[in-house]
């Protein structure tokens, strides 16, 4: 029986080794057999996967609504501009609601457009706009857009793909709904002229397919012309992310990039600030949804920053007086919070807190009770936060 068990173990081990060798032989070398690959020597370690399919591979970003509320959320929009700059797309497109609008005051429009452009100018890539209901919701705003911003709908080609922006606020100006007949005919002709494009991308503010009656009928006319093409649709307006495929094609309702939001902790509910990064590679299009705050510059973490953080709080104990002098300085460009406490467990014997703006400093003295056991030193906890986020927590003994 012992020999039988040993034989079974030997067979199992040999089988596992054979399977492992088979797996490695099949997957452990990068050979460059698919896509536009470099010339590689044999036995390059790694995993064989397709290289880009097209030497015209490119990316572009899609930015959601900034307004419709959320007037205080410029930091979210600015962070997005900064992150898009780090991602280096070929260009970016915003799907409307650039300003709050809802006014017929030209001075107010001047003020709102000045504010928007101050933030949008952070973008380093070419940045395309299209209008939303907050941008051209009345005749004064529509005329202002045409006079100062530009066309309300347009198209262009890029690397064998066709990009078309539509204006869902166009119809009311001529007593119609949604697109209006003139724009509809333009869109139909535009699609026919570019049927041979590798991919068609359509952008508009309102999700026309969610409407009813004539508005829906107009969109269905456009969908009929799109039959037989490879296309993707991006819209905004509803301030909630939603992926809604139609007719076998991807349709994206983007939520806000700084606009008003009723937040939900579950990303799947779609109530999050975000933007999209689209990668086009041959016949394949990938759309990544990115929440601002997830992309960082290459120099986000440096030894110099850590050295300054480590020296931000200084402690000078005086055991004879059972006192601890605390000095804090903020050498950073953002708010620094610090809390120093003495004692163990949840209930501290004494604590002191500081909130310092850039360049500020502060100091204080903590008095604490004499330890009941002189052989057991008092514990001190130092907690430091940078712009509301914890930098570190350290616990030590007062000696």
* Confidence (pLDDT) at 9: 43
Residue 50 lies in a domain: no
**Phi–psi pair at 74, nearest 5 degrees:** -60, -35
pLDDT at residue number 350: 84
64-86: b (≥16 Cβ within 10 Å) or e: bbbbbbbeebeebbbbbbbbbbe
With respect to residue 349, please indicate whether it lies within any of the assigned structural domains: yes
Is residue 62, in this structure, part of any structural domain at all? yes
Whether residues 277 and 353 share a domain: the answer is: no
pLDDT for position 346: 60
Q: Do 315 and 282 share a structural domain?
A: no
Handedness of CA 334, 120, 158, 163 (dihedral sign): positive
Distance, in Å, from the CA atom of 239 to the CA atom of 258, rounded to the nearest integer, reads 10
Radius of gyration of the chain from Cα atoms?
Answer: 30
Length of the chain: 399
**How many whole angstroms separate alpha carbon 218 and alpha carbon 225?**
11
Residue 335 lies in a domain: yes
- Secondary structure class of 278 (helix, strand, coil): strand
User: Is residue 53 within 8 Å of 69, Cβ to Cβ?
Assistant: no
* Domain final residue, candidates 259, 290, 321: 290
Instruction: Enter the DSSP assignment of 158.
Output: E
Residues 123, 254 within the same domain: yes
The domain spanning residue 355 has which CATH number? 2.60.40.10
> What does residue 374 show for φ and ψ, rounded to 5 degrees?
-60, -25
Rounded Cα–Cα distance for residues 381 and 394 (Å): 6
Q: What is the CATH number of the domain that holds 70?
A: 3.60.21.10
Pairwise CA distance, residues 53 & 39, whole Å:
15
72: phi > 0 → left, psi -120 to 50 → alpha, else beta; which?
alpha
* Number of domains observed in the structure of the chain: 2
User: Do both 271 and 371 map to the same domain?
Assistant: no
Q: Are residues 285 and 320 in the same domain?
A: no
Residues 137 and 259 in one domain: yes
Q: Is residue 157 one of the residues assigned to a domain?
A: yes
User: DSSP letter at 147?
Assistant: I
Phi-psi region of 70 (alpha: psi -120 to 50; beta: other; left: phi over 0): left
Please indicate, yes or no, if residue 261 is contained in any of the structural domains: yes
CB 199 within 8 Å of CB 232: yes
338 and 199 inside one domain: no
Q: Is the domain of 175 the same as that of 311?
A: no
Closest CA to 226 of 206, 210, 209: 209
pLDDT of the residue at 345 = 57
Q: Please name which of 310, 317, 316 lies closest in space to residue 336, comparing C-alpha atoms.
A: 310
Strands 323-329 and 313-318: antiparallel
Q: How far apart are CA 153 and CA 176, in angstroms?
A: 16
262 and 357 assigned to the same domain: no
**Which one of 256, 290, 324 terminates a domain?**
290
Residues 267 and 332 in one domain: no
Q: Tell me, what's the pLDDT at 348?
A: 67
Q: Is there a single domain that holds both residue 159 and residue 307?
A: no
**Domain containing 94: what range?**
58-290
Distances from the Cα of 142 to the Cα of 46, 78, 169, 177, 182, angstroms = 56, 26, 9, 15, 16
Q: In this structure, is residue 86 part of a structural domain? A: yes
Report how far residue 144's alpha carbon sits from residue 120's, in angstroms, rounded to the nearest whole number. Answer: 18
- Are the beta carbons of 289 and 274 closer than 8 angstroms? yes
pLDDT of residue 13: 45
Residue recorded with tokens 């911003």: 149
Q: Is residue 24 part of a domain?
A: no
CA-nearest of 366, 265, 356, 375 to 317 is: 366
Domain check: are 281 and 314 in the same one? no
Query: Of 197, 129, 224, whose CA–CA distance to 167 is shortest?
Result: 129
Instruction: Check residue 386 and give its pLDDT.
Output: 94
* Spans in the chain with pLDDT lower than 70: 1-28, 344-348, 371-372, 374-375
The half-sphere exposure of 264 on its side-chain side, counting CA atoms within 13 A, is 10
**Residue-level pLDDT at 48:** 86
Q: Using an 8 Å Cβ cutoff, are 289 and 241 in contact?
A: yes
């Amino acid at each position: 029986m012992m020999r039988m068990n040993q034989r079974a173990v030997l067979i199992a081990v040999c089988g596992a080794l054979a399977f492992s060798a088979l797996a490695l032989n099949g997957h452990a070398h990068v050979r460059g057999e698919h896509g536009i690959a470099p010339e590689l020597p044999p036995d390059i370690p790694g995993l064989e996967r397709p290289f880009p399919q097209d030497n015209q591979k490119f990316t572009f970003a899609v930015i959601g609504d900034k307004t419709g509320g959320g007037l205080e959320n410029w930091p979210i929009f600015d962070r997005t501009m900064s992150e898009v700059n780090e991602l280096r797309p070929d260009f970016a497109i915003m799907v409307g609601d650039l300003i709050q609008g809802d006014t017929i005051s030209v001075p107010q429009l001047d003020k709102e457009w000045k504010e928007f452009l101050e933030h949008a100018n952070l973008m380093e890539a070419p940045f395309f706009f299209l209008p939303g209901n907050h941008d051209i919701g009345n005749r004064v705003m529509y005329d202002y857009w045409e006079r100062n911003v530009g066309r309300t709908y347009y198209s262009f080609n890029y690397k064998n793909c066709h990009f078309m922006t539509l204006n869902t606020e166009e119809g009311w100006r001529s007593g119609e709904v949604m697109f209006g007949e003139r724009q509809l005919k333009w869109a139909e002709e535009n699609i026919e002229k570019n049927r041979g494009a590798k991919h068609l991308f359509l952008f508009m503010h309102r999700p026309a397919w969610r409407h009813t009656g004539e508005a829906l009928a107009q969109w269905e006319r456009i969908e009929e012309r799109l039959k037989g093409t490879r296309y993707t649709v991006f819209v905004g307006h509803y301030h909630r992310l939603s992926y809604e495929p139609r007719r076998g094609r991807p349709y994206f309702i983007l939520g806000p990039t700084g606009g008003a939001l009723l937040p939900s902790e579950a990303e799947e509910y779609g109530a999050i600030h975000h933007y999209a990064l689209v990668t086009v590679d041959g016949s394949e299009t990938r759309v990544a949804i990115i929440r601002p705050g997830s992309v960082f510059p290459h120099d986000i973490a440096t030894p110099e920053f850590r050295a300054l953080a480590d020296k931000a709080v200084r402690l000078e104990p005086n055991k004879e007086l059972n006192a601890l002098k605390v000095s804090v300085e903020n050498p950073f460009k953002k708010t620094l919070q610090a809390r120093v406490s003495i004692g163990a467990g949840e209930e501290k014997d004494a604590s002191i807190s500081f909130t310092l703006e850039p360049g500020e400093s502060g100091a204080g003295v903590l008095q604490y009770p004499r330890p009941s056991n002189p052989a057991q030193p008092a514990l001190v906890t130092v907690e430091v936060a940078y712009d509301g986020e914890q930098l570190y927590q350290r616990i030590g003994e007062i000696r």
